[in-house]
Amino acid sequence: MLIHPEEILETIQMLKMEHLDIRTVTMGINLLDCSHPDVNILNKNIYNKITTYARDLVKTTEDVQNLYGIPIINKRISVTPIAVVAGSCKTPDLVSIAKTMDKAAEAVGVDFIGGFGALVHKGFTKADLKLINSIPEALACTNKVCSSVNVATTKAGINMDAVALLGRIIKETAELTRKADGIGCAKLVVFANAPEDNPFMAGAFHGIGEPDCVINVGVSGPGVVNAAVRELENPDLGEIAETIKKTAFKITRMGEMVGREVSRRMDVDFGVIDLSLAPTPAIGDSVAAILEAMGLERCGTHGTTAALALLNDAVKKGGSMASSSVGGLSGAFIPISEDAGIIRAVEDGSLSLEKLEAMTSVCSVGLDMVAVPGDTLASTISAIIADEMAIGMVNKKTTAVRIIPVPGKDVGDHVEFGGLLGSAPVMQVNPFSSKNFIGRGGRIPASIQALTN
Amino acid sequence: MKNNSRLFRFSIFVCKLFRIIYGHILSNVFKLCIQSTLIYIQNVKIIFSRFIKTQSLKIIHNLQIPAESLTFTVNYIFYSKDEGIMTSSRFVITVIGGDKVGIVAGITSIMARFNVNIVDISQTTMQDLFTMIMLAEIKDRDFDLSAFQKAMGDEGHRLGVEVKVQHEDAFRFMHRI
């Protein structure tokens, strides 16, 4: 087998100049066996299990990073949705469990821990309600805990009571983290068709169909795709798709190799590689930049949805050839605050919330890291969520909403979240009311697409 | 020169041979079909070439070429098929930066200190930067990779170049199925 020096240099260039990295190695840990009616014992069990299983996660990941010279940005943990684990607890709120998770994450040195969540697409259990009501305080008093709630699936429809409740929860979470511009909301995702093996935060949780412990990997690489597309000389769209496919293949292989090596060293099952294009605030490491490289003057203009559809499809085709363990979200991310190109598009007035919503119908996630004015009504937030859930339900795909009503800020203001979360301009929402629609409650029945058997 | 099972017989492929300096310049820029075999010279396993297009079929072997004079480009790196995933102990070392006297000497002296064997070496440019690529083999079982990486990094820093030591799989996985 031969490796050409040019191929070696191509890899080096991807790593050095184009920000190729492994975004996250996420260890999924099943907590079902920690269950206990006494919340103190439950907390102790959870702490012990996480710190035992993930004790060497950070060190192993760093060893693998040094071995291959490929940066691994985040190490994370996802756990079984806490509403399921704490089903038998008698306590009125579950904030203490979030604190335990935070403490355990701190002890093993990971960047985030996800799974403080519930699956309520068809209805609430008592524990689900307790958990959702605990979310604002849990996110305000912890640093690393992330929360997600699945409120819709293609098979079950949309639980509009949950959608209405979460509008209020999001407002409350923003209010409790007012000093940090509502950053609590950046750690809360509302899902339709949530994947059980997603390694990306804030939506990662360890599904109940998963094994006891598993390693999932999420790659990043918009910068590499961007550079590859820009290198083409006057290409047609078929050639662009072909180039993206090949590039996605290479990125995915890298992720698979790292994931398998980490899982081998830790003697844990290798779960999936999530081949999402996850942008970072670094210049060029941007999904919007890829769309603009295809010939759009600015991301968000007419043609953006088509270009994104091409990009997303080519990424999946290339990635699925590279690994037989593709899972998670797998597609292009378009988080506003984390993508310099998207921020610019919003600031220039090219990209609106409505266009962003259209884009989410052809790519992997939904309205991600969207900052809206602090005085946005809870019912309006719920309605934004409902729209996004409908797209997910009907198209049999995952969609999500991570929206931040920034307290005290209005359209034109700017919010700084820092780190990978970046910064975001506050976006305009439709001023007309959706209150009566959201107030009706109940469930939007599953669409006809659900009847596949 | 050996020709046992570890050495492949390679199909004919095209390769750009830039310059060959061995005492005198053998030729200018060649674009030749060459069939390669491997020879060992001073522990440096070099891919050598059999010239097809020249008048006479030349096989150069048993040459004692000092490392400093290896200024030709070796374009391919070889693997033997029986080395399974993750079992090899070979690393790709890349040195990138401005060209100056003493880079090869500095880098290779660190490698010698850590008992790291050079399997293959090549030199090219990337965006006008001096670029040296080495395939190195580590035989010691209890090799301290991080200490080696640190020493190489420090030496690179001293020389004003960037040195990376990466397991060969990082490249193999990306470019080969």
Q: What is the pLDDT of residues A198-224, one digit of tens each?
A: 999 889 999 999 999 999 999 888 899
What's the CA gap between A131 and A145, in Å, rounded?
A: 13
Q: Is the pLDDT of residue B36 over 90?
A: no
Contact B167 A12 (CB under 8 A): no
Residue B93: both structure tokens together: 């070392």
Mean pLDDT of chain B: 61
A215-442: CATH topology is Anaerobic Ribonucleotide-triphosphate Reductase Large Chain (3.20.70)
What's the CA gap between A133 and A94, in Å, rounded?
A: 9
pLDDT value of position A343: 93
Residue B26: both structure tokens together: 């053998």
Contact A254 B94 (CB under 8 A): no
Quickly tell me which residue has 């820029």 as its tokens: B29
Residue range A107-126, pLDDT digits in tens:
999 999 999 999 999 999 99
Quickly tell me which residue has 């070099």 as its tokens: B46
Residue A12: which of B73, B94, B145 has the nearest Cβ?
A: B94
Domain boundaries, chain A: 25-192, 215-442
**What letter would DSSP give residue A17?**
T
**Is A4 in CB contact (< 8 Å) with chain B?**
yes
Contact B174 A66 (CB under 8 A): no
Residue A180: both structure tokens together: 């940090």
Choosing among 3.30.70.260, 3.30.499.10, 3.40.1160.10, 3.40.50.720, the CATH entry for B90-175 is 3.30.70.260
Q: Which of A3, A68, A324 to mutate to test the interface with B (most CBs of B within 10 A)?
A: A3
Residues 33-72, chain A, touching B (beta carbon < 8 A): 66-70
Give the residue from chain B lying closest to A322, CA to CA. Answer: B177
Q: How confident is the model at residue B37 (pLDDT cuts 50, 70, 90)?
A: very low
Domain boundaries, chain B: 13-69, 90-175
What's the CA gap between A76 and A249, in Å, rounded?
A: 24
Q: Hey, which bits of chain B come out as E strands?
A: 13-17, 21-22, 24-25, 30-41, 44-51, 77-78, 90-97, 116-126, 129-138, 161-167
pLDDT value of position B88: 67
The set of residues, in sequence order, having a beta carbon less than 8 Å from that of B144 and lying 6+ positions away, is none
Q: Is the pLDDT of residue B119 over 60?
A: yes
Give the residue from chain A lying closest to B169, CA to CA. Answer: A68
**Is B133 in CB contact (< 8 Å) with chain A?**
yes
How many other CB atoms are there within 10 angstroms of residue A103's CB atom?
A: 18
**Is B75 in CB contact (< 8 Å) with chain A?**
yes
Residue B141: both structure tokens together: 């079982």
Residue A2: which of B76, B149, B167 has the nearest Cβ?
A: B76
Residue range B53-112, pLDDT digits in tens:
332 223 333 333 443 333 333 333 333 333 333 446 889 999 988 888 888 889 999 999
Residues 92-111, chain B, touching A (beta carbon < 8 A): 92, 94, 96
Residue A302: both structure tokens together: 């007419």
Range of lowest pLDDT (A369-383, B28-42, B124-138): B28-42
**Is A250 in CB contact (< 8 Å) with chain B?**
yes
Contact A430, A377 (CB under 8 A): no
Residues 207-246, chain A, touching B (beta carbon < 8 A): none
For B16, the 3-state DSSP assignment is: strand
B165: which chain A residues are within 8 Å (Cβ-Cβ)?
A: 69
B126: which chain A residues are within 8 Å (Cβ-Cβ)?
A: 9, 12-13
Q: Hey, which bits of A80-207 come out as E strands?
A: 112-114, 118-119, 145-153, 157-159, 188-192
A259: which chain B residues are within 8 Å (Cβ-Cβ)?
A: none
A250: which chain B residues are within 8 Å (Cβ-Cβ)?
A: 174-175
pLDDT < 50 positions in chain A: 1
Mean pLDDT of chain A: 92
**Is B122 in CB contact (< 8 Å) with chain A?**
yes
**Is B169 in CB contact (< 8 Å) with chain A?**
yes
The set of residues, in sequence order, having a beta carbon less than 8 Å from that of A274 and lying 6+ positions away, is A197, A198, A199, A200, A216, A217, A218, A219, A326, A327, A328, A329, A330
Cis peptide before A138 (omega within 30 of 0): no
Residue B167: which of A1, A13, A68 has the nearest Cβ?
A: A68
A70: which chain B residues are within 8 Å (Cβ-Cβ)?
A: 166, 170
Q: Hey, which bits of A171-285 come out as E strands?
A: 188-192, 213-219, 269-274
**Is B76 in CB contact (< 8 Å) with chain A?**
yes
The set of residues, in sequence order, having a beta carbon less than 8 Å from that of A370 and lying 6+ positions away, is A336, A353, A356, A401, A402, A403, A404, A424, A427
pLDDT value of position A37: 93
Contact B126 A9 (CB under 8 A): yes
A25-192: CATH topology is Anaerobic Ribonucleotide-triphosphate Reductase Large Chain (3.20.70)
For B141, the 3-state DSSP assignment is: coil
Distance from CA of A282 to the nearest CA of B (A): 21
Q: Is the pLDDT of residue B49 over 90?
A: no
